[in-house]
Amino acid sequence: MRSVAVRRAVLAAAAAICTLVVTACGAGQKGGAQEDAKGSASPAPVKALTAAQLEQRVLVQGDVNGQKITEPGKKEIFEPGSVSVGKAACAPVGQVLSSLPAAEPEASVQRLAVHESAKAKKGMPSLDELANMTEKEAKEATIDSLDVTKTTASLWSYEGDGAQRALDALRAAGKKCAAGFSMTSDGEKQQVTRVESEKLAAGDDAVAWTVGTKQDGTPADTKVAVVRVGGTLAGFSSFNIAAVTRGEAYEQPTDVIEKQTAKLG
């Protein structure tokens, strides 16, 4: 989901929690490289997969247990050129954070994977249910209903060694911009507060981060990973509204990453 939408979702969630509480009270692995390793040697030149070939390899409904796979709508993705950063060296990070490619691919496709926890599937508590809870219980129950992880999975294909060069540029940008940078998405400013490296073994090579952001005083963490399989990059940008609202850590969507990587292999 777009980072602007993340902020709005978190603010809306907080507003909903306050309103409801007040109302109720009143009433797998394939030998990949780790993030801290140097980029692997450039692969032999390869032919970029076409959009039709990527469609055959991208995730579909039923591929990942417990995940609903759909094509993202226009309001759930950024358009090319809609994201800019304050430091040119950090542009690759800002791009993949927004589910955009770090370098211009020959072809691309995207899917949205959504996982709801058992508590989230129960939905938002009714006012009658909230009225019988303490303020703390009502707040927790409301946040539980928002325990949904959304992951944008993107496939980008490149000619020759373009995929490895793009991944190497990402790795370098992540290190240079670890302390953060400013960026603008669809005209709205936000601050990336940190780019924290994570270990990820997947595909032929991979990078992964937790990216902290703050917009209008609202902090949020997004899980970002990019995996190379031959001349194709698989990018993942994931967040969980409940975890963001609570300020809790959450994990990379490894089931989504592993399945998408396997389909590319």
Q: Is residue 139 domain-resident?
A: no
Q: pTM of the full predicted structure? A: 0.80
Secondary-structure breakdown of the chain: helix, strand, coil percentages, each rounded to the nearest 5 = 35, 30, 35
Per-residue pLDDT at 42: 54
Q: Could you tell me if 192 and 133 are in contact, meaning their C-beta atoms sit under 8 angstroms apart?
A: no
Per-residue pLDDT at 245: 84
Rounded to whole angstroms, how far apart are CA atoms 258 and 69? 15
Q: Is residue 12 domain-resident?
A: no
pLDDT exceeds 80 at position 9: no
pLDDT digits (tens, 9 = 90+) for 75-95: 888 888 889 999 999 999 999
Domain that holds residue 192: 30-119+147-264
pLDDT digits (tens, 9 = 90+) for 119-177: 878 888 888 888 888 888 877 877 877 889 999 999 999 999 999 999 999 999 999 99
Q: Is residue 200 domain-resident?
A: yes
Per-residue pLDDT at 23: 43
Q: What is the mean pLDDT of residues 221-233?
A: 97
Confidence of residue 214 (pLDDT cuts 50, 70, 90): very high
Q: Is residue 80 domain-resident?
A: yes
Q: Is residue 127 domain-resident?
A: no
Which residue is listed with tokens 């990059």? 233
Q: Is residue 100 domain-resident?
A: yes
Helix residue ranges per DSSP H, 27-79? 51-57
pLDDT exceeds 60 at position 12: no
Q: Is residue 90 domain-resident?
A: yes
pLDDT exceeds 70 at position 110: yes
pLDDT exceeds 60 at position 11: no
Per the prediction, the chain carries an average pLDDT of 84
> Is pLDDT larger for residue 1 or for residue 131?
131
pLDDT digits (tens, 9 = 90+) for 33-61: 444 444 555 545 689 999 999 999 999 99
Give how many domains the chain has, as a whole number.
1
Per-residue pLDDT at 144: 79
Q: Is residue 134 domain-resident?
A: no
Which residue is listed with tokens 């430091």? 87
pLDDT exceeds 50 at position 31: no
Rounded to whole angstroms, how far apart are CA atoms 256 and 149? 11
- Find the CATH number of the domain harbouring 169: 3.40.1000.70
Per-residue pLDDT at 145: 79
